[in-house]
Amino acid sequence: MKKRALLLLALTPFLLTQCGDGSKGGDSSSSNSLTIGFAQAGAESAWRTAETESITREAEQRGVTLKFSDAQGKQENQIKAVRGFIAQGVDAIILAPIVETGWEPVLKEAQRAEIPVVLVDRGVQVSDDGLYATLIASDFVAEGQMAADWLAKKTGGKANIIELQGTPGAAPAIDRKKGFEQGIAAHPEMKIIASQSGDFRRSQGKEVMEALVKAHPNLTAVYAHNDDMALGAIQALEAAGKKPGTDVLVVSIDGVKDAFIAMKDGQLNCTVECNPLLGPNAFDAVEKAVAGETLPKKTVVQDRLFEASQAAAELPNRQY
Contact status: 274 vs ligand GYE (CB under 6 A):
yes
Question: Cα separation of 4 and 91, whole Å?
Answer: 8
Q: Which amino acid is at 263?
A: M
Window contacting ligand GYE (CB under 6 A); options: 45-53, 111-119, 124-132, 312-320: 45-53
**Ranges assigned E (strand) in the chain:** 35-40, 65-70, 92-95, 117-120, 134-138, 159-165, 190-197, 221-224, 249-254, 270-273, 298-301, 305-307
Closest contact distance (angstroms) between CB of 137 and ligand GYE is 7
Edge-to-edge strand ranges of the sheet holding 92-95: 65-70, 35-40, 92-95, 117-120, 134-138, 298-301
Among 30, 40, 45, 220, binds ligand GYE (CB under 6 A): 45
Closest contact distance (angstroms) between CB of 39 and ligand GYE is 14
Q: Count residues near ligand GYE (CB under 6 A).
A: 12
Closest contact distance (angstroms) between CB of 291 and ligand GYE is 27
* Counts for the chain of helices (H) and strands (E), in that order: 11, 12
The closest of 258, 266, 267, 261 to 236, measured between CA atoms, is 267
CB atoms within 10 A of CB 213: 21
Closest contact distance (angstroms) between CB of 229 and ligand GYE is 8
Pairing label, strands 65-70, 35-40 = parallel
Question: Cα separation of 86 and 206, whole Å?
Answer: 39
172 versus 232: smaller Cβ distance to ligand GYE:
172
DSSP single-letter state for residue 27: S
Closest contact distance (angstroms) between CB of 254 and ligand GYE is 5
Among 85, 132, 200, 223, binds ligand GYE (CB under 6 A): 200
Interaction residues for ligand GYE, span 46-65 (CB under 6 A): 47-48
Window contacting ligand GYE (CB under 6 A); options: 41-49, 82-90, 237-245, 305-313: 41-49
58 versus 254: smaller Cβ distance to ligand GYE:
254
195 has which bridge partners?
A: 163
The burial of 81, by beta-carbon neighbours within 10 Å (0-12 exposed, 13-18 middle, 19 or more buried), is given as: buried
Among 30, 33, 165, 226, binds ligand GYE (CB under 6 A): 226
86 versus 98: smaller Cβ distance to ligand GYE:
98
Interaction residues for ligand GYE, span 84-123 (CB under 6 A): 121-122
25 versus 172: smaller Cβ distance to ligand GYE:
172
Binding site for ligand GYE (CB under 6 A): 44-45, 47-48, 121-122, 172, 200, 226, 253-254, 274
